[in-house]
Amino acid sequence: MASPLLDESSATAASMVKQRTIRLMVLGDEKVGKSSLISALVSQHSSEHVPRVLHDIVIPTEDTRENVVISLHDTSSHANDVMEVIKTINRSDAAIVVYDVSRPISSQRLSYWLDLLKVTKIMPVVLVGNKCDLLPGGSEMSRVQSVLRNYKFIVHSLVCSAKSLVNVKKTFGLAQRAVLYPMSPLYDAEKKQLQPTFVQVLKRIFRLFDEDRDGIISREELNRYQATFFRARMKQEEIEILLDLVHHIKPEGVAVDKAGLYLSGFVYLSELAIEKDKPEHCWQVLRSLGYSDDLTLDIPADYYEVPREGSEYQMVDVSPTAYTFLRGVFDQFATGGALPWPAVEAIFDILPADKKPQWFLKATPTTLELSAWLSLWSLEMAIFPKETLVQLFYLGFSYKAPVAVEVRSVSRRLSAKKTIRCLLFGAPRAGKTTIVNKLVQMPFESPGYLMDSDGDSSEDKPEADDVGPSRVRPLDVYPYLLHNVHIVSDKETAAGEKYLVISEVSEANISPRMVTQIAREIHVDIVCYVFDGNDADSIDYLLAIEKAIPDSIPVMFVCTKSDLLDETHSSSLAWDRALAHCASLELFAPLSVSDKTLKGLQGEHSLYSLLAHRALHPQGALPFSAQKRQAKRRKRWLIGGVAVTVSLLAVAGAVYYKDKLEAYAPHLPLWLQKPIALLPRATK
């Protein structure tokens, strides 16, 4: 089979069209031959007697070449029927606007019908001059050139004759083709160039088939492209012809020694198909990859729906398979072992603007090392898992969601995970944002106040009002807090680098009630309580938050602005209270940090390393709360009570069966014979 660009047949493209119904309407003045055109198409002969307006006609799939059902709608030109015409316009996919080439006044009336379409619904229009048998030579066509310039949605213009059956099939075929293979999403006829969105899609397709990632679609890769979308491979001589053709027009698009095509040459293949009026070849590729008529990628749900285990908040991490894929992307674009920012932009150039990662949209341009690149993907997956899976799909990750992610479960040890999640709580102005953004390659700005996040800023609103579909859930707010990721290592774990995702929960961004709800419902690996060493009230704030967090989650207290305490060489009330509180919960003492001197923020025993370490090894980080004390006390009482009960039952049984035991006494060891003799006899 020849290349689709050289083969005139569109049978392959037609075979890929999903079965659908195409609604074609016929518009025009009275007596221009609208009903006669429909009648001639259906009956394949002309008729002298045709109703003024035909009923709707349906042509089944077996009578079409494109695996579609065609529904034809005739319309009335009477002024009283204009509302019915507008209803038909809104239901239709394309319009055939008919005028009479034998009457000049008819072409002058075209603007009425085209304006009606323009204000009601823009759709592909085939402009057809009927009764060309009465005006040989087609001179009337010159009169409609201004119409073609003024109405860009006219996709074709031709003359026909319902009486002699000239171009009748072609008229309806062009309308059907304009719906199945629309040109406007692919090509800007006014600028005479491919649409930018289509070029972006072609870049993605090029990258998908550049399997060795060398920036060239080789001959073999080009053949795989042909076989994938057109179900046959090209012969070597056909590839030679294709490469020669591209080289003749766009020499910079062909690799050295004609080893394959660069991106510009690959894009030119689509330009060539459109120049040859073969948009169906482009749509064959696009629809095979899941693109809709507006070039939106339809991704199957099992590629982006996060696997769930129960109804609780599901945490997922990037899987080893996905990490391997991301390393491959890094290697393809890296220069000298790092990604310059232009290379990062090139990676995401194939993603629509609304699909690009949040960290990329918010970032300050910088060069990324491999660890930073992977950590940012871990951050994106931790916060926006569904969106991250979509991004991976766009980049060419071909596995479904269960392979792309690892669901965090109780049965799997945390030490086996790459990502550690931390919620950061603290009173206003305690220094939370500084901790989140300090010593990272890509600091992010605080999002500001997100919304009236609990649906009502009044603290007096009853809890019962929080139920219902309008209630904003913590899961709805959590992704839009301030997050960042720190790269840490834990020497006691052989898993190498870990990515610590810290999320600031602040009343500067959300309501106090939502802060409490996030503390209660978003379960992470460790919680960090931040207090100002010079503000005792910041401790009271944390004690209120602490009540909402399960005591099964490791915690760590952090004292900020320690440089001020060091200057006075004294303790503070806030520090003393925090120290006493940690002692009461059998926790490690608070860690002192300073963003000015970087005390506690860098080095082997930095805040970030300790957070990761205590999440992985929670001994000394799990609060021994009042509930745990009470549970331990109950357990002791229960064990003691059971022991006393068992002892009493044993003694009672021995007394009751003393006579029988005495019979066996001679056979027992000496150290058991004496205790039996001491037992009292049971009363009868």
CA-CA distance, 267 to 269, in Å (whole number)?
Answer: 5
pLDDT of residue 139: 56
- What angle, rounded to 10 degrees, do the helices at 168-180 and 34-43 form? 90
pLDDT at 3: 37
Residue range 225-267, pLDDT digits in tens? 999 999 889 999 999 999 999 999 999 999 999 999 999 999 9
What secondary structure letter does DSSP report for 336? Answer: T
Q: How far is CA 5 from CA 45, 90, 231, 415, in A?
A: 35, 36, 14, 55
Q: Is the pLDDT of residue 313 over 70?
A: no
DSSP 128: E
Please state, in angstroms and rounded to a whole number, the distance separating the CA atoms of residues 572 and 559: 11
Phi/psi at 400 (5° precision): -75, 170
Residue range 143-171, pLDDT digits in tens: 788 888 889 899 999 999 999 999 999 99
* Residues 295 and 182 sit within 8 Å (Cβ to Cβ): no
CA gap 304, 309 in Å, rounded: 16
Q: Which residues of 151-186 are buried (b: 16+ CB within 10 A; e: fewer)?
A: bebbbbbbbbbbbeebbbeebbbbbbbbbbbbbbbb
SS3 label, residue 378: helix
Give the pLDDT confidence score for residue 17 in this predicted structure. 59
pLDDT band at 312 (very low <50, low <70, confident <90, very high): low
Show Cβ contacts of residue 465 under 8 Å, excluding neighbours closer than 6 positions.
456
- The pLDDT assigned to 306 comes to 84
Band of the pLDDT at 625, cuts 50, 70, 90?
Answer: low
Q: Rounded to the nearest 10 degrees, what angle do helices 279-288 and 219-230 cross at?
A: 90
Q: Which residue has the higher pLDDT, 421 or 656?
A: 421
CA–CA distance, 66 with 61 (Å, rounded to integer): 8
Give the position of tokens 């989650």: 553
pLDDT band per the 50, 70, 90 thresholds, residue 608: very high
By the 8 A CB rule, do 85 and 74 touch? no
Cα separation, 435 vs 483, whole angstroms = 11
- Label residues 406-418 b or e (16+ Cβ within 10 Å = b): bbbeeeeebeebb
Q: Which neighbouring-strand residues pair with 156?
A: 126
Convert the pLDDT of each residue in 582-603 to its tens digit. 999 999 999 999 888 888 888 8
Q: What are the tens digits of pLDDT across the range 3-15?
A: 333 333 344 444 5
Amino acid at 226: Q
Segment holding 55, helix H or strand E: none
Give phi and psi for 504, each to the nearest 5: -85, 125
Same fold for the domain at 7-180 and the one at 414-447+474-624?
yes
Tokens 């083969």 -> residue: 7
Instruction: Catalogue the E-assigned strands of 533-588.
Output: 555-560
Q: What is the pLDDT of residues 40-55, one digit of tens each?
A: 999 988 888 889 999 9
**89 to each of 36, 109, 426, how far by Cα in Å?**
20, 18, 60
Reading the block at residue 154, the tokens are 């006219």
Rg (CA), the chain: 38
**Which of the residue ranges 34-43, 450-459, 653-662 would you say has the lowest mean pLDDT?**
450-459
Residue closest to 422 by CA, chosen among 504, 515, 312: 504
Fold classification of 414-447+474-624 (topology level)? Rossmann fold (3.40.50)
What digits encode the pLDDT tens for the residues 628-684? 556 555 666 676 667 667 767 766 666 666 556 566 556 555 555 555 555 565 554
Centre a 10 Å sphere on the Cβ of residue 285 and count the other Cβ atoms it contains: 22
Tokens 């309580």 belong to 529
Determine contact, residues 146/114, Cβ cutoff 8 Å.
no
Q: What angle do CA 122, 97, 69 make, to 5 degrees?
A: 75
Task: For residues 203 and 208, give the distance between their C-alpha atoms in angstroms, rounded to a whole number.
Answer: 9
The pLDDT of residue 502 is: 95
pLDDT band at 137 (very low <50, low <70, confident <90, very high): low
Class of the domain covering 7-180: alpha beta
Q: What is the pLDDT of residue 344?
A: 96
Of 205, 190, 172, 210, the closest CA to residue 328 belongs to 210
Choose the most confident range, by mean pLDDT, from 205-209, 473-477, 514-518.
205-209
Distances (CA, A) of 467 to 145, 472, 659: 63, 9, 71
Torsion, Cα 182 187 188 193, to 10 degrees, reads -170
- How far is residue 89's CA from residue 153's CA, in Å, rounded to a whole number? 14
Mean pLDDT of all residues belonging to the chain: 84
**In 26-184, alpha helices (H):** 34-43, 82-91, 104-108, 110-120, 145-150, 168-180
For 525-542, letters b (16+ CB in 10 Å) and e give bbbbbbbbbbbbebbebb
Task: Locate the domains of the chain by residue range.
Answer: 7-180, 193-289, 315-407, 414-447+474-624, 628-662
Which CATH code for domain 193-289? 1.10.238.10
Largest CA distance in the chain: 136
d(CA 172, CA 71): 11
Beta partners for residue 487, in sequence order? 499
